[in-house]
Amino acid sequence: MNKTDLIDHIAQQADISKAAAGRALDAVIGGVKGTLKKGGSVTLVGFGTFAVGKRTARTGRNPRTGDAIKIKAAKVPKFRPGKALKDALN
């Protein structure tokens, strides 16, 4: 499922227009991004938790030349599924 399919699904399930569903989805995604950018986490009970993880700096290898390169530390988004989501899949 891609973003367009998800918008169609939201519009049909909530009985709203596709434009309104698109705005709603963009608002949710924007809210999650904004909270993660501030270092917070977003918990949707029954679905899961979005949080920020930290990846430390490390040394890697250039696959083409084999030279060692330095990879900077980075913040990465993480998702931990909730119990209800796990149970729905099994």
pLDDT in tens, 3-47: 999 999 999 999 999 999 999 999 999 999 999 999 999 999 999
User: Running DSSP on this structure, what letter comes out for residue 58?
Assistant: E
Residue 68's pLDDT is what?
94
The 10s digit of each residue's pLDDT in 64-79 is 999 999 999 999 999 9
pTM (predicted TM-score) = 0.80
Q: In whole angstroms, how far apart are CA 66 and each of 19, 40, 70, 71?
A: 50, 38, 13, 14
As beta bridge partners, residue 79 has 50
pLDDT of residue 25: 96
pLDDT one-digit tens code per residue, 45-64: 999 999 999 999 999 999 99
Of 75, 36, 37, which is closest to residue 57 (Cα–Cα)? Answer: 75
DSSP 44: E
